[in-house]
Structure 1
Amino acid sequence: MKKQFKKILVIKMRFHGDMLLTTPVISSLKHQYPDAEIDVLLYQDTLPILSENSEINALYGMANKKSSGVSKACNFIKLLLTLRKNKYDLVVNLADQWMVSLLVRAIPAETKISHQFGHRDSKYWRNSFTHLTVPEGEHVVLNNLSVLKPLELKELKTNLTMSYTADDWKNIDQRLLDLGVHSSYVVIQPTARQIFKCWDDEKFSEVIDALQSRGYQVVLTSGPSKEDLECVNNIANGCQTKPVIELAGKTTFPELGALIAHAALFIGVDSAPMHIAAAVNTPIVCLFGATNHIFWRPWTDHAVQFWAGDYETMPPRDELDRNKKYLSIIPASDVIKATEKLLPMNIRSMMTRY
């Protein structure tokens, strides 16, 4: 397809990490069509993770599932009217929600491409787009990029993009200094949206003790929910020396990106901050349970990945117990050994970040 597009809409409605993993699609489009304005339609509560991305012209938020029926209806109509007025000439769809087909049909774009999802194999869905592609690729980044196949792009950009401003880092740096973090630090994100993606609190405490005994300061991060903050406090209280917990639940996504970007190491479970660490090229130690550890692995060459399936057999997806901590089988000693391989021994305790 040898066309020059000037106004492009990319659609993806999932969680924060999923949105970060769409940035190679945006970068590939911007590289091929440098003069094009690229807008993104996503859930309202995931707007912040892409808010500083300079390749994006505008972000449009769809009301999420927790919104009332009236709110969702009003939001949908308002978005529909706005997107129609924008006069897109290309729509790139990565979303599988049924309402997307309604929305796309109402947008008068000449070219509308989408993945063909198995559970959306209806005539109505197929006729909502001009081109459909079967998703392919062993990793979610490659899977997302496969939607661009009809465009016959000369080059695909595969790097993730997590953007933050100089002020974001300035703010975080000052807060770290105020908290006494003057030397090389490690960021640990122990929480995830689902319990089956989480590790044991006491094992995180053991890892933190090992890191701090080697001269590294540890900063714990999390979401702002009561459950997340309780988890962080429990881990901190189990440590011989309490790590920094004052930033947990109190950073914006761009600020979190800046914090992780300047860390010596990131340790965490399968969650959005892990993908942020991959995007900003910070070394990673990550832990996976009963999930697809290949498809969702951190998109970087600087990661040590632990998968619970290497210690015991994991159940198939349809037999998954979402209330079980499958990661519990991973011993803290293995994670500690990985940190020793990725971080120098003892020498950074007296080093500043400058």
Structure 2
Amino acid sequence: MKKLDFIKILAFSIRSCLNKRNKSEKGGKIIIIFGGIIGDSLVFMDALIAMQNYYCKEGKSITLVCRKAVASFLKSVRNDLQVEMLGIDPELFISDYRYFLDMVQTLNSQKWELLISPFKSKMAELIAMNTNAVHKLEMRQEFGSRFFSIEKILNKAAYNHTIIIERDCMAFKCYRILLNKLGITDYSAKLSCLPSYKVKYDFAAKNKYCVVCPTSSEAAKSWELEKFCGLIQYITEYYNLDIYLCGGPEDSEFRELLKSKIQLPDRLYDYIGNTSFNEWVELIRHAVVCIGNDSASIHISAFTQTPSICITPGFFYGFMQPYDLDIVTEQDVLPTCVYAEKACFGCCLKDGKRCAGNKECLENVRKGGKYLCIRDIALNQVITALDKVI
């Protein structure tokens, strides 16, 4: 991060609040600031559609400010979305003063009646401080230090309405609480099913296969490659399934590493970085099972009723995984979570940062290793879970 640019951004934002630029007339427009990644957006998707339907009836429009990849994904997998989307680079927004000013000018070209931040982030707070919305609502879990901090001051300056969520509240239920507070009282935390898409690959006609997703948004929370190799070997030998590798273009380095370590490389099919969003969904939909780190592929499995095994980290345990819903139907197939429980489980929810209170874990990650709650998940644990699922 460019330190000078961030100081400028902070100063501009504070001055913006002091000048009370947020006193705008009601414009009938809703702006939602969502800083999460693709997997997070899937969990939020049904709540977004419910808000769309609710506010459209009142003649109000919604703009979703989110990552560009999230905007592309949501537009692709849900063509019933009637939400305007503004793609933004969150990292650039808080580090590049020129980019920040351009985005603030774009946002303030419209009058907003209500700003909603359902996913706590620095980007959301800075947008809230600089946007001309009448009502600014945040939803957050109360964790971290109770003492004075710059973060808490910025948070107070950014919003004029707050919904506090219990630390052990799962994301689906958090969004239900948010919608109920907004007046959408008939909304419950449940799973929908992603629609089927016509794609160039006929996955349904292929031999039975398992999807393996060996990467995630953070290397430290991804299970070791050697363990994935052992798992793949087990699946091909004992279940006679082909293995379809899944991941983004940035994960292509794993392709050759995996092939070099697998004794049956001809059973390995490489779809890393080679699918559209819709093809990604269909690839998982027709799989016997999907196995991976806590990532978007596991959420896609749940939304396509595909059995899945999630190699689950402990720092956010209970928030994204395991699933906790108000309504579970006979058709729902929830992810099976495999984890190595530790005394420091839930560190991020308790103290606001990963590895809090565990110096060994922090040092291991600093050296390029894994979080201990990921490192200590044994291959046999995942195999046992797989045997139960299949």
Residue 10 of structure 1, CA deviation: 1.4
CA apart distance, 1:99:
5.2
Cα contact 1:184–1:263 (8 A) shared by 2: yes
Measure the CA separation in 1 of the matches of 2:156 and 2:135: 14
Change (3 A) 1:165 1:74: farther
Rate the CA distance shift 1:162–1:50 in 2: closer, same or farther, 3 A.
farther
Change (3 A) 1:304 1:252: same
Partner of 1:94: helix, strand, or coil? strand
Partner of 2:89: 63
Q: CA deviation at 1:113?
A: 1.6
Q: Which residue of 2 aligns with 1:187?
A: 211
Output the CA distance in 1 between the equivalents of 2:193 and 2:110: 26
Residues 1:171 and 2:216 aligned together: no
For 1:293 and 1:331, the matched residues in 2 are separated by 18
Query: Contact 1:164 / 1:255 at 8 angstroms: preserved in 2?
Result: no
- 1:95, distance to aligned residue in structure 2 (A): 4.3
Alignment of 1:324 with 2:354, yes or no, is no
**C-alpha separation between the residues in 2 aligned to 1:205 and 1:99?**
38
For 2:85 and 2:193, how far apart are their aligned partners in 1?
A: 15
CA 1:298/1:234 → structure 2, altered by over 3 Å: closer, same or farther?
farther
Deviation at 1:160, TM superposition (A): 5.4
When the two chains are superposed, the root-mean-square deviation of aligned CA atoms in Å is 3.2
SS of equivalent to 2:247: coil
Q: Judge conservation of contact 1:232–1:245 (CA < 8 Å) in 2.
A: no
Instruction: Report the residue type matching 2:253 in the other structure.
Output: E
Unaligned ranges ≥5, structure 2: 1-26, 144-148, 324-331, 348-354
Residues 208-238 of structure 1, C-alpha deviations (whole Å, 9 max, x = no match): 233223232210112222xx32334323332
1:13·1:19 contact (CA, 8 Å) conserved in 2? no
For the pair 1:236 / 2:259, whether they are aligned, the reply is: yes
Instruction: Give distance in 2, aligned partners of 1:68 and 1:82.
Output: 16
* Alignment partner of 1:11 is 2:50: no
* TM, length-normalised to structure 2: 0.71
1:249 aligns with 2:311: no
Q: Which residue of 2 aligns with 1:275?
A: 299
C-alpha distance 45-264 of structure 1, shift in aligned 2 (>3 A): same
Q: CA–CA distance in 2 between the matches of 1:45 and 1:86?
A: 24
Q: Matched residues in 1 for 2:136 and 2:211: separation?
A: 41
Q: Distance in 2 between matches of 1:184 and 1:246?
A: 15
Cα 1:328–1:134 change in 2 (3 A) is closer
Which whole-Å CA distance do the structure 2 matches of 1:126 and 1:200 have between them? 41
Measured in 2, the distance between the counterparts of 1:68 and 1:93 equals 17
Shift of 1:41: 0.5
Structure 1 length normalisation: TM-score?
Answer: 0.78
Partner Cα separation in structure 2 for residue 62 and residue 302 of structure 1: 31
Letter matched to residue 132 of structure 1: T
Match of 1:223 among 248, 252, 268: 248
Q: 1:260 aligns with which of 279, 284, 291?
A: 284
Asked whether the 8 Å contact 2:93–2:123 carries over to 1, the reply is no
Q: Deviations over 1:163-222 (max 9, x none)?
A: 57724xx2243xx59xxx712221110112333322232322232233223232210112
Indicate conservation of the 8 Å contact 2:242/2:269, yes or no: no
The match for 2:171 among 140, 147, 150 is 140
Q: Does the C-alpha gap of structure 1 residues 97 and 307 become closer, same or farther in structure 2, counting only changes over 3 Å?
A: closer
The yes-or-no answer on 1:307 pairing with 2:339 is yes
Quote the offset at 1:248 in angstroms: 0.8
**CA–CA separation in structure 1 for the residues paired with 2:111 and 2:243:** 49
Identical positions, percent = 21
More deviation in 57-66 or 92-101? Answer: 92-101
**Local SS of the residue matching 2:272:** coil
- Which consecutive aligned stretches of 4+ in structure 1 deviate over 6 angstroms post-superposition? none
Contact 1:232-1:248 within 8 A present in 2 as well: yes
1:131 aligns with 2:161: yes
Letter in 1 for 2:310: C
The count of aligned residue pairs is: 325
**What secondary structure, in the 3-state scheme, does the structure 2 residue paired with 1:324 have?**
coil
Q: Once the 2 structures are TM-superposed, how far is the Cα of residue 287 of structure 1 from its aligned partner?
A: 1.1
Aligned equivalents of 1:67, 1:37: Cα separation in 2: 24
SS in 1 for 2:64: strand
Q: Would the alpha carbon gap of residues 158 and 24 (structure 1) be closer, same or farther in structure 2, given more than 3 Å must change?
A: farther
